[in-house]
Structure 1
């Protein structure tokens, strides 16, 4: 269940930001809020993944996902859109591939 939640949240982030430039993103607070909400979902789900799965797949950055969730959940006014943009472009695609691969091995 949590892996599916993570995958869905990652798909939503990709959908919300498809064809956007950073300038578009930075000025679109609805999209920023939606992306942040989905990062919260990813992080909360990552926290709840059983330890044996985390140990079996240490290349997936489970703790970093949860730490990002904490950051975006508790720093309401200090969230830098540039950091969110960087994560969604430079880390999320690989994380999504890792989660999809894990989901495919579980089926």
Structure 2
């Protein structure tokens, strides 16, 4: 769990950064700001990479953490960088990250 906790901290830090980058922006402002887009996408890549490093024991013990979804998103962002769907990035940031953040909270105590 020691290494797992480090990876969870990386994920939590990336979530906080995404929240900070998007604070006060609406979708139209987001899609017009390439710096914010690049920063948010990079943080999603970090979330996905850290999720891939979580131990199998952790993944089995915590089905509430959507490890596969996080890894899949990372792969799409990395390998389909030319076709990143910004509406998916936005929707994930606004709708899925709060749930993930809440699920991580008790694991980081």
TM-score (norm 1): 0.94
Asked whether 1:90 is paired with 2:72, we answer no
Gap regions ≥5 residues in structure 1:
none
Q: Unmatched 5+ residue regions in structure 2?
A: 1-5
Aligned pair count reads 104
Query: Superposition pairs for residues 42-57 of structure 1, below 5 Å?
Result: 42-57=47-62
Query: RMSD of aligned C-alpha atoms?
Result: 0.7
Shift of 1:67: 0.3
Task: Give the SS at the match of 2:81.
Answer: coil
Stretches (4+) displaced over 3 A: none
Give per-residue Cα distances to partners, 1:14-71, cap 9 Å, x unaligned. Answer: 0000010000001001100000000000000000011111111101100100000000
State TM-score, norm by structure 2.
0.93
